[in-house]
DNA sequence: AAAATAAGCTTAAACGTTTAAGTAACCTAG
DNA sequence: CTAGGTTACTTAAACGTTTAAGCTTATTTT
């Protein structure tokens, strides 16, 4: 790369000190009482040399980098991809750059990533935490790093968070299935200690309980690293036996997509034999022969809120943590039609 | 954020100069002939204070940031999301951080982004260029910024690029449709001057020509910003009339997904009435009642190659540009079965 | 025993900014 | 005419590193 022009180069050409140039180019001429002529001369030279400030130097001095870090759980999942995009857009509106990383649902990778980002002196972090990362998050808190948890709050940690009302969303979805006449509703969730999934499970169980039904063995768990086999086994169990399930509720889009692949393969008719509802959105849901009923998370709203909350946290480090809980929307389509 | 420990803090506690500390912590003790005892004392203190080097200061000195920029065309498209993930992984293997941005297929936004990234002193760029960004790319070249184009080469610009053999992939896909007995093959592509799309169109046209067929009005274009309406119109035209198309070839996954939505709506039977083939992968293709035949781009290979090419470009700025062309694979499934 | 070498450290400058404090020249008011 | 103010600049230090060059003191060589 060719050497870029620095304040020094401009100063030299204008025959003044770098300080003066700095005052002008950061629009502090008033305060520094720079002469009108000199100011315009400096500006002209700056333009001629195509001066671009060196953010490194500036940040070194100011202690701020105008950069935030975003750690998502898995960037190849469009759900997180969308979040990344919205966070980036919103950040740019505030002249903030985003450095991102994907933890791939792996606590170790997440810790690495966090270190890298903090070493790059980000001003703060937005984190979609993976399982087992409580300690890391706690450390952020102790080191007084401004951060916001997104999508997955940790109730045990006093930290700002943005998420949907998982319990309620789940409850409503199951209630919808009940209203459409389903009696033997199964759920497939991740096997994880993460609170948002626990809440989704709780919503499922409570909705059934309130309808006088018992969950029984209809709640199945799949391991993230054995998604395919676990889901197939779960579906085999749920749809087999004397009392096969007549509805299936998936706790995330990736679970649903893998599940629907198998359901297609088995030739199970949706919604006649089996109603389907899933959390999260996916283009794949539209192309399934019976468009899939899903719980839409207000991603845009969440992303914006996350950035704004983080920025105010950065601006005022004494700010108490804030939990923002947003309602999700059930989008009813053919996969859960009454029969 | 609490103040982090600096070399100075360590030096003070050890009663030595910062220089000595620097030598030890950058493992130059041999060269600088630091005493064994002192070295271990310094290391111990560094550990105790949890010293983390300040990359800003280091970069300011060295002129390198160990950071590359990635500009994708649209991060909310899983295709690019995957690329982002792979680029990030590969970069991390080399201890390089990635700063990314999405141009949303918008040349202006792309220019903004480029400036932001360059101002952050990235060592180089990987760009998936959007339409109309030739000038920006040319400027990169003139400013001697190391960069690599990905997915979409600009044949008019001497620059390194990684892409698939679009012409050939397209040709093969159409040939496959011909072999499965299709005679009236339509194609829907983006209306764009981008070379990779032009190549895909050329592959389509030539495959038909070689089979003694003419393209006629069976090549339809859709505008990125009017995707839905343009695709619907195109499909109406292609499937209507006396000689309705018996196969449809989509130039990208987003075109295909929008198209398949409409095809489902219209109740057109795939593959009986209409065979379907698309470029790129998508989970949605799996869930379509007739799993969609598609052209798989070797994303991992491309991502790795892009990072490696960029890094060698950064290391040796005199290096001549290199074009890497990788073959894509046609994955045949039910949507294009013979009838 | 003087000279050369080695060992173990320090000094100081540099990277490109920002900004408080200082200075010199001129102007104005009493 | 002179104290005080204003204008238009400069000086210098600081942010946290890196690294060539310098400086002691101790050890080896001849």
Domains of chain B by residue range:
7-53, 65-164+299-326, 166-297+330-336
Is the pLDDT assigned to residue B76 strictly greater than 90? no
Cα separation, B39 vs B24, in Å, equals 6
The Cβ of residue A240 has, within 10 Å, a number of other Cβ atoms equal to 10
Mutate to test the interface with B, among A78, A81, A256, A257 (most CBs of B within 10 A): A81
Q: What is the pLDDT of residue B2?
A: 62
Q: What is the pLDDT of residue B241?
A: 87
Confidence of residue A335 (pLDDT cuts 50, 70, 90): very high
What is the average pLDDT value for chain B, to the nearest integer? 95
Partner residue opposite A257 with nearest CB, options B67, B101, B283? B283
Contacts (Cβ under 8 Å, ≥6 apart) of A120:
A65, A67, A69, A99, B55, B56, B67, B97
Q: How far is B81 from chain A (nearest CA, A)?
A: 5
Q: What's the pLDDT tens digit per position in A74-121?
A: 888 899 999 999 999 999 999 999 998 899 999 999 999 999 899 989
| A202 SS3 class | helix
Nucleotide nearest to A58 (CA to C1'): C17
What are B203's two structure tokens?
């592959």
Cβ of residue A3 closer than 8 Å to a chain B Cβ: no
Percent pLDDT > 70 in chain A is 99
1.20.1070, 1.10.357, 1.10.260, 1.10.10: which CATH number matches B7-53? Answer: 1.10.260
Confidence of residue A2 (pLDDT cuts 50, 70, 90): low
Confidence of residue A318 (pLDDT cuts 50, 70, 90): confident
Strand stretches in A117-254, DSSP E: 124-127, 147-150, 160-164, 185-190, 219-222, 247-250
For the domain A65-164+299-326, what is the CATH superfamily, name and number? Response regulator (3.40.50.2300)
- Contact list in B for residue A260 (CB cut-off 8 A) is 287
Cα separation, B190 vs B227, in Å, equals 9
Q: What is the pLDDT of residue A215?
A: 80
The answer to whether B181 and B336 have CB atoms below 8 angstroms apart is no
Cβ of residue A227 closer than 8 Å to a chain B Cβ: no
- Which position has the token pair 């499970």? A201
Is the pLDDT assigned to residue A65 strictly greater than 90? yes
The residues pairing with A101 across neighbouring beta strands, listed in sequence order, are: A71
Q: What's the pLDDT tens digit per position in A230-240?
A: 999 999 999 99
Cα separation, B37 vs A92, in Å, equals 49
The answer to whether A113 and A101 have CB atoms below 8 angstroms apart is yes
Q: What is the pLDDT of residue A1?
A: 56
For the domain A166-297+330-336, what is the CATH superfamily, name and number? Response regulator (3.40.50.2300)
The residues pairing with A294 across neighbouring beta strands, listed in sequence order, are: A278, A331
Is the pLDDT assigned to residue B263 strictly greater than 90? yes
Answer for B32: CB within 7 Å of strand C: yes
Q: What is the pLDDT of residue A241?
A: 87
The answer to whether B248 and B275 have CB atoms below 8 angstroms apart is yes
Confidence of residue A30 (pLDDT cuts 50, 70, 90): confident
**Regarding predicted confidence, which is higher, A214 or A282?**
A282
Q: How far is B213 from chain A (nearest CA, A)?
A: 32
Is the pLDDT assigned to residue A339 strictly greater than 80? no
What is the average pLDDT value for chain A, to the nearest integer? 95
Is the pLDDT assigned to residue B301 strictly greater than 60? yes
| A98 SS3 class | strand
Percent pLDDT > 70 in chain B is 99
Is the pLDDT assigned to residue B19 strictly greater than 70? yes
Handedness of CA B53, B54, B55, B57 (dihedral sign): negative
Q: What's the pLDDT tens digit per position in A180-203?
A: 999 999 999 999 999 999 999 999
Q: What is the pLDDT of residue B1?
A: 56
The bases of strand C with some atom under 7 A from any protein CB are: 7-12, 14-21
**Nearest Cα residue in chain A from B81:** A76
Query: Which secondary-structure segment (H or E) carries B250?
Result: strand B247-250
Interface contact A97-B99, CB threshold 8 A:
yes
Q: What is the pLDDT of residue B75?
A: 84
Same fold? A65-164+299-326, A166-297+330-336: yes
Considering only residues 46-75 of chain A, list those whose CB is below 7 Å from strand C.
Answer: 51-54, 57-58, 60-62
| Average pLDDT score over residue span A8-20 | 96
The bases of strand D with some atom under 7 A from any protein CB are: 7-12, 14-21
Answer for B34: CB within 7 Å of strand C: yes
């Amino acid at each position: 790369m060719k050497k870029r022009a620095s304040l020094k180069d401009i100063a030299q050409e204008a025959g003044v000190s770098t300080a003066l140039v700095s005052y002008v180019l950061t629009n502090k001429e008033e305060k520094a009482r720079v002469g009108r002529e000199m100011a315009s001369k400096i500006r002209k030279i700056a333009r001629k040399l195509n001066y671009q400030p060196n953010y490194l130097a500036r940040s070194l001095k100011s202690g701020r980098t105008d950069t935030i870090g975003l750690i998502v759980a898995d960037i190849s999942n469009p759900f997180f991809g969308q979040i990344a995009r919205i966070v980036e857009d919103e950040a740019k509106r505030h002249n903030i750059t985003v450095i991102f990383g994907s933890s791939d649902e792996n606590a170790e990778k997440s810790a690495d990533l966090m270190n890298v980002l903090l070493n790059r002196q980000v001003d703060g972090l937005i984190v979609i935490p993976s399982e087992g990362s409580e300690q890391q998050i706690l450390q952020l808190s102790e080191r007084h790093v401004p951060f916001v948890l997104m999508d997955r709050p940790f109730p045990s940690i006093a930290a700002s968070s943005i998420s949907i009302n998982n319990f309620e969303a789940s409850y409503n979805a199951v209630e919808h299935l009940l209203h459409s006449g389903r009696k033997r509703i199964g759920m497939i969730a991740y096997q994880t200690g993460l609170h948002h999934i626990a809440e989704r499970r709780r919503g499922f169980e409570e909705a059934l309980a309130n309808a006088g039904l018992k969950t029984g063995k209809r709640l199945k768990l799949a391991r993230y690293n054995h998604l395919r086999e676990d889901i197939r086994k779960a579906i085999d169990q749920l749809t087999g036996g004397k009392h096969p399930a007549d509805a299936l509720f998936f706790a995330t889009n990736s679970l649903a997509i893998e599940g629907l692949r198998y359901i297609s393969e088995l030739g199970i008719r949706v919604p006649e034999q089996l109603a389907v509802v899933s959390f999260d959105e996916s283009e794949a849901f539209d192309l399934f022969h019976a468009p899939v009923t899903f719980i839409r998370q207000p991603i845009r709203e969440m992303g914006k809120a996350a950035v704004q909350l983080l920025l105010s946290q950065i601006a005022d480090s004494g700010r108490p943590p804030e939990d923002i809980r947003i309602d999700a929307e059930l989008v009813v389509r053919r996969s859960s039609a009454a029969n």
